[in-house]
Structure 1
Amino acid sequence: MKILAPALLFATLFTLNGCTAMPPLKSPEPMLTAPQTQYDARIVQPENNTVLTPEELAQRLINTDVVVVGEYHGHHGAHLLQSRLQTALYRLRPEQILAMEQFNLDHQDELNRYLQSETGETEMIEDTGAWDNYRASYRPLVEFARQQNLPVIAANAPADVVRCVGRKGPEYLDRISDTLRQKLPSDPFMDTPAYREKFMAAIGASHQADDTMSERMENTYKAQLLRDNTMAARILQARAVHPQHQVLHLTGTFHSEEGLGTVALLKQRAPELSVAVISPVFWPSDVNEAPLDRNRAKGDFVYFIQPLPDEFQDAERERAAMKARFSRSTEKTCD
């Protein structure tokens, strides 16, 4: 299923009048090998088709203000790459900040207490509402930051607020406390047209013909924007507190690939910052598809990983599981 791409042709130089060389043909794709395990990641710089190690990637990022590593949540290849890059960047530039979508800003104090060894790991996980896969996916990154006394930023918007904006619309922010509202960005729904188009396509814009569904989708999009704007603002706040520090930001790839989402909003808010995007790509199952063909624009760098296994083969069980997940998310009210 994951087979090496077919052999690629090398460019040939031609001469005119015996001395003037024609411009070389476009560089062929790198001779990538398919990831062999769920831990493997093959890093490529699409601009020049260069295959890189994490250490070589760090060398190219040494002067970048914000390094954004997209992930498929829970993929071991993504998380191992993040950890290796974190340490490689630290060796070159110890002034580092770890910013994480995986913690919400309203739990920054609880996270700080753990970083200062005032609480234990289980206490921190309970107090911050950490993701279920914290120990398997994010523990190495947080522990490295803790051991080196580096700031860790809870970058995401409060989960309850995001959920209620998705249900009630942006006006829900008028109901939250002034203290919490002040922690959110001043323009929480800043937008870019390309991101809206991508989001609507991803969640099924065909339903927009129904006015009720259109309103629901618009609210869902506003909730997404609240996350992205909050993460962008939190990165800038961290840079203001820690000038000249490099930010390593971890986020789901939808928030960053193609330079959209959090990345586009970060650039709108601070165009002077240099930002690099590193995006995951699943290795293609089609043996005739060159891995970079449709993925060059996903990031300044991309990394190839094995696809995740299917969650379900039984459609009925999948529907039941989705219904159960949705039911749990609606238990809390927004009144």
Structure 2
Amino acid sequence: MKDLSRTLTLLSCLFFAGCASLPAGNADVLPPQSQYDAIIADSSGSLLTVNQLAEALAPADVVVIGEYHGHHGAHLLEALIQSTLYRKRPQQVLSMEQFTLTDQPELDRYLSGETGEEELIADTGAWSNYKASYRPLIEFSRRNNVPVIAANAPAKIVRCIGREGEAYLEQLDSDLLKQLPEDRFLDTPVYRDKFFAALEDNHGADEGEDKNSSRIENSYKAQLLRDNTMADQVVTALRENPGHQVIHLNGTFHSENRLGMVAVLEKRRPELEVAVVSPVFWGPEDDFNSLLEEHRDRGDFLYFLQPLPEKYKDSDRQHEAIMQQFHNAGSLVCD
């Protein structure tokens, strides 16, 4: 009963304002109890409610929220942050990795009421988890006249750069090329090392393949184009909406440790106050203090989530799925 009472107290404090105190001592912090729960803390380990997080984020020019794509807890927290921050700073812009530059006209048509949701999904090629994950953010924006920025680079351009390298850009129509940032591949050495290490961990490398091979280098260039395009769109949104706060959503790799699009954004506009919110998985054997010590540099604020289910137990089926992805990528025509 003691654990149940502590859990209910913690969850109610995390999601609602007005709690006088949180559990005393980090040793008492319990892990998320469901896939919807998020335990929020600042980088020093102080637990926060959503309202307290929004209060801390309110002065920022840009709030960058990293997510694990498809995690219900991440998407619920994003929606709560958006609506709570809106009450403090109603001059708000939502910027999203989940739509690309070429989707902007269709996104604007939907926000203005010219089209319906199924038309939006079809015309933008929205992500398969749009309804479950991003609908609340778009609908909040639509009802409150919040501009939404389609911030990512066009998917075909990203994929073709991943295959052919930056030379592919020479084939693009000049009007489309003008939509991309002038400096399209700005990066930092730390981010490069992190990307290459992640690529090797996730997919492995062909036996004997040089880590500086053109294939891997092209993959990195594709990643940089995403980061630079998103940063450029945030800068443009601030210029076109003076006095507004931009909330930007992307996969956590693009922003954690203030790398990726955050590093680019800060290089281009060093005077901006940028706050980074990053997720951390809390596994069955983990404890709060150890996780905080290991991951505190991921962001100004952290939110802890249950891990997503393991995708495969059968290694053969996993290999087949990976090979199918390569096959599908191979059907792309870059001309």
Q: Indicate the structure (1 or 2) with the bigger Cα radius of gyration.
A: 1
The residue number in structure 1 matching 2:219 is 220
> Residue in 2 aligned with 1:326?
326
CA distance in 1, matches of 2:46, 2:162: 41
Question: Could you say which residue in structure 1 is the equivalent of 2:292?
Answer: 292
User: Is this contact kept in 2: 1:29–1:292, CA < 8 A?
Assistant: no
Note if 1:278 corresponds to 2:274: no
1:327 shift after superposition:
1.7
User: What does 1:156-171 align with in structure 2 at a 5 Å threshold?
Assistant: 156-171=152-167
- Aligned pairs for 1:158-307 (under 5 A) are 158-204=154-200, 207=205, 210-211=209-210, 214-287=213-286, 290-307=290-307
1:32 aligns with 2:13: no
Distance 1:313 1:212 in 2: 28
Deviation at 1:329, TM superposition (A): 2.3
| Distance across 2 between alignment mates of 1:116 and 1:168 | 38
Residue 28 of structure 1: CA displacement?
Answer: 6.9
- Partner AA of 1:258 in structure 2: N
Q: Paired residue for 2:100? A: 104
Instruction: Provide Cα deviations, 1:110-163, integer angstroms capped at 9, x if missing partner.
Output: 100000010000000010111000001000000000000110000000000000
1:58 touches 1:89 (CA, 8 Å); kept in 2? yes
Measured after TM superposition, the shift of residue 31 of structure 1 is: 3.5
Measured against aligned partners, the alpha-carbon deviations of 1:4-46 in whole angstroms (never above 9, x if no partner) come to: xxxxxxxxxxxxxxxxxxxxxxx97464211000000000001
For residues 55 and 30 of structure 1, what CA distance do their matches in structure 2 show?
Answer: 23
SS at match of 1:292: helix
**Using a 3 Å threshold, how does the CA distance of structure 1 residues 186 and 320 change in structure 2: closer, same or farther?**
same
> CA distance change for structure 1 residues 177 and 287 in 2, over 3 Å: closer, same or farther?
closer
Residues 28-37 or 169-178, more deviating: 28-37
Which residue identity is paired with 1:35? Answer: P
2:20 is matched with none
3-state SS, counterpart of residue 334 of structure 2: coil
Write the distance in 1 (CA, Å) between the matches of 2:78 and 2:303: 11
The 1:30/1:275 distance shift into structure 2, 3 A limit, reads farther
Q: CA deviation at 1:207?
A: 4.3
Instruction: Return 5+ residue gaps in structure 2 as ranges.
Output: 4-23
User: Is 1:45 aligned to 2:49, yes or no?
Assistant: no
- Say whether the 8 Å CA contact 1:239–1:245 is kept in structure 2: yes
Q: Which runs of 5+ in 1 are unaligned?
A: 4-26
So what's the TM-score if we normalise by structure 1?
A: 0.89
* Matching residue of 1:9: none
Decide whether the 8 Å contact of 1:207 with 1:213 is kept in 2. Answer: no
Question: Residues 211 and 35 from structure 1, CA distance in 2 versus in 1: closer, same or farther, beyond 3 angstroms?
Answer: closer
Contact 1:157 1:231 in 2 (8 A): yes
d(CA) in 1 for partners of 2:211, 2:81: 45
CA deviations on 1:218-261 (whole Å, 9 max, x unpaired) are 01000000000000000001111101100000100000000000
How far apart are the structure 1 equivalents of 2:175 and 2:150?
A: 17
Write the distance in 2 (CA, Å) between the matches of 1:173 and 1:287: 45
RMSD, matched Cα: 1.9
Q: Quote the offset at 1:322 in angstroms.
A: 1.5
| 2:248 maps to amino acid | H
Distance 1:229 1:210 in 2: 28
Distance 2:296 2:179 in 1: 36
- Give the 3-state SS of the residue equivalent to 1:249 in structure 2: strand
- Structure with greater helix percent: 2
Q: Is the 8 A contact 1:165 1:220 kept in 2?
A: yes
Q: What secondary structure does 2:47 align onto?
A: strand
Question: C-alpha separation between the residues in 2 aligned to 1:29 and 1:201?
Answer: 32
Name the aligned partner's letter for residue 35 of structure 2: Q
1:44-79 superposed Cα distances (whole Å, 9 cap, x missing partner): 0013x2101111100011110000000000000000
Letter in 1 for 2:30: T
Q: How far does residue 326 in structure 1 lie from its aligned partner after superposition?
A: 2.3
Q: Deviations over 1:158-195 (max 9, x none)?
A: 00000000100011111100010000000000011110
One-letter code aligned to 2:38: A
User: TM-score, length-normalised on structure 2?
Assistant: 0.89
Alignment of 1:82-101 (within 5 A): 82-101=78-97
Q: Give the match's secondary structure for 1:52.
A: coil
Cα distance in structure 2, aligned partners of 1:212 and 1:171: 20
Aligned equivalent of 1:137, options 127, 133, 137: 133
2:147 aligns to what? Answer: 151
Distance 1:119 1:331 in 2: 31
Question: 1:22 maps to which residue?
Answer: none
Q: How many residues align?
A: 310
Report the equivalent of 1:122: 118
Residue 62 of structure 1 is matched in structure 2 by 58
